[in-house]
Structure 1
């Protein structure tokens, strides 16, 4: 194996390892991790702040952030497996002539493996590349399966949060009993967002339906023992970091506001 092939093998394995770790911890992890996927989503979310305040951007920003993250996972694994398979040259050959595949031919083969559709017009040349093709297909199957559950958990967190905000806003002030009616739901929402932080990238044209701002609004309405309970609950919010009252919460909420007047970054 030449030095170039070794370099391709090491680089491909490193890319696969990092991207797959990013994918696994992001989709089925129950804590907040600072992988590339979250940084990409934050960056795209912040860019939307520069767009005009039309309603479509509030509807689109969440799916766009999720789409970019999915593209990163697929492209990263695709490139990684391409480099690994190409390092075994001729690890992939054309089915019709058994001529060694070019880099782009290997790219096509790796893509077919990841999609679990087979090798297309190419095939593995030897036991080693064949086993690697199986591993690539398994990786693709895992990504496809867990991506669905990840999207469902994220959107369910958004829906449950908006349900809480709708209920709280519908209550008349004199009947407002945050302690018995809302606090348990706030605690559930905080735990859900800790597990599915991408829910914060889903905005809404109506400011009352945006999760970060809604939590800050509920906090402002609380007082006495209810405020103390809210302090303890929000103190377990991993994404806020240092939490010492309303000012910290409002500053954090501004980071997830893509209106033109907002100045923070997600």
Structure 2
């Protein structure tokens, strides 16, 4: 395997407050990695740094979607998305007044290259490309069991279906690295079990590397190959699920009595 993400001494300060400090993290191509820790540990801040929402105060983020490494520090979110990184959000962010299908089409079209001439005059090449986008979008909805709801408004979907739609929209950008921010939040056990299977399926189907923030330890311990643990913005442990669940620092800072149940 080759490294797809190499984070070195990543730090972000807000005024006099250090949100994350000297974070070291690397992901090999094809891995499914967990990022866990108590509320306020800095997990979402790490995602925001990786995706360009915040620039780092210091440190480097090396991203290798293909063969050439790209330094992401200071790049805009749209540039990072075009490079091959996509994410979902802890608080679902959909275009609620658009249809389910249009949410995916809109995301997919951001990677399409239309000539000004073909789009302005609606030439056959433009029409073929639009049709291709629609068909590929429907395929994603079919995989998420949302095809029959393609023409419904996104705001009318159930909470679980909105989560699935957000993942479909992220996949529509054709990422090499997918960041999932608490995808199981608010789900019942049956929905979480279904989501677990879905994550494993899309990883294999799309040959993705996945970085996952999640508080549901049964999900994390089941599907993650390695786990990083943040506490107060610092990585206090990393390793396999067994190594992490038995780490005294992790038990004290986060897992506590839960370790007996995961």
Between structures 1 and 2, the one with greater strand share: 2
Greater helix percent: which structure? 1
Larger Rg, first or second structure (1 or 2): 1
What TM-score, normalized to structure 2? 0.28
